[in-house]
Amino acid sequence: MNIQWYPGHMAKTKREIKENLKLVDVVIELLDARIPLSSRNPDLDEIIAGKEKVVLLNKADLANDAITRQWIEYYKEIGIEAMAIDSISGKGLNKIYAICKEAAREKIERIEKKGIIGRPLRAMVTGIPNVGKSSFINKIGGKSTARTGDKPGVTRSKQWIKVNKDFELQDTPGVLWPKFDDNKVAQRLAFTRAIKDEILDIEELAYFFVKYIQETNPSILKDRYNVDLDMEDPYETMINIGRKRGCVVSGGGVDTIRVSNLILDEFRTGKLGRISLETPEVINDLGE
């Protein structure tokens, strides 16, 4: 399953991020806590070179807590402040200003030595599509300042959001990178809907998701659907789930499109449980 997706507006977004860096003190990079490596844009490090960065592991409510803590420790070890948040419930958002201020401490001190006191801390919010940036902006801003939607590509223009008199955020549209060199990364992005379902073969995507879960934690599927798993053929497992859930058509056959959407939706909404698809060990597997 070869997946590539890079709409033209994303190249424009990258240029705008680079141009606007001079306006901010720190960059906030939102990652999906379920796939912290795959949801990290490798182009961003080059674009923001020299600018302090804070990593927020969003959608932490959908990820395995223990594995999320491993990722936070990993970032700590490489000198980057990181924390878990949930932009829907607001968990962790009250600590964002403090962590950003600490990351930008040296720049703030330089500014204050010039006699500039009381200027708001300015942060740029970046991330891939559907990582939850708009929900984050809305929640921390205290009102619907940015459009949201459970699909990539909702945010189309940069916005400034005043959190309070001491803290301002610049929103940016979600942006991917031109080519996925590792198909595992592309699949994980598709599993979490960072890549539009509309351009994918949803049955094939669900097949690879079921295959991955069967290989790593088969009890997730068995406990949720109460079906026999075909460890040799994930497609048969999908068929069994479809029958169990009533995804049938006239004549008794299984509606494979319907069951594919059901499985992926239940993963994306947390009904399959709190699942992390990557641990820090995967960095070595993907050649980082």
Q: Is 60 annotated as a binding residue?
A: yes
What is the Cα–Cα distance from 161 to 154, expressed in whole angstroms? 17
Three-state SS across 55-95? EEEECHHHCCHHHHHHHHHHHHHCCCEEEECECCCCECHHH
Q: Is 174 annotated as a binding residue?
A: yes
Contact 99, 81 (CB under 8 A): yes
Q: Is 58 annotated as a binding residue?
A: yes
Q: Is 61 annotated as a binding residue?
A: yes
Q: Is 134 annotated as a binding residue?
A: yes
Q: Is 276 annotated as a binding residue?
A: no
DSSP letter at 127 equals E
Angle between helices 183-191 and 202-216 (to 10 degrees): 100
What is the Cα–Cα distance from 2 to 200, expressed in whole angstroms? 10
The overall longest dimension of the chain from CA atoms, in Å, is 79
Residues 6+ apart with CB under 8 A from 123: 24, 25, 26, 27, 28, 54, 100, 167, 168, 169, 170
DSSP string, 136-174: HHHHHHTS--S---SSTT---S-EEEEEETTEEEEE---
Checking DSSP bridges between strand 159-164 and strand 167-171, what pairing results, if any?
antiparallel
Residue 107's CB: how many other CB atoms inside 10 A? 15
169: β partners: 123, 161
Q: Is 219 annotated as a binding residue?
A: no
Which of 53, 54, 62, 55 lies closest to 86 in space, CA to CA? 62
Binding-site residues, please?
Answer: 58-61, 130-135, 174
Binding-site residues for GTP, please?
Answer: 58-61, 130-135, 174
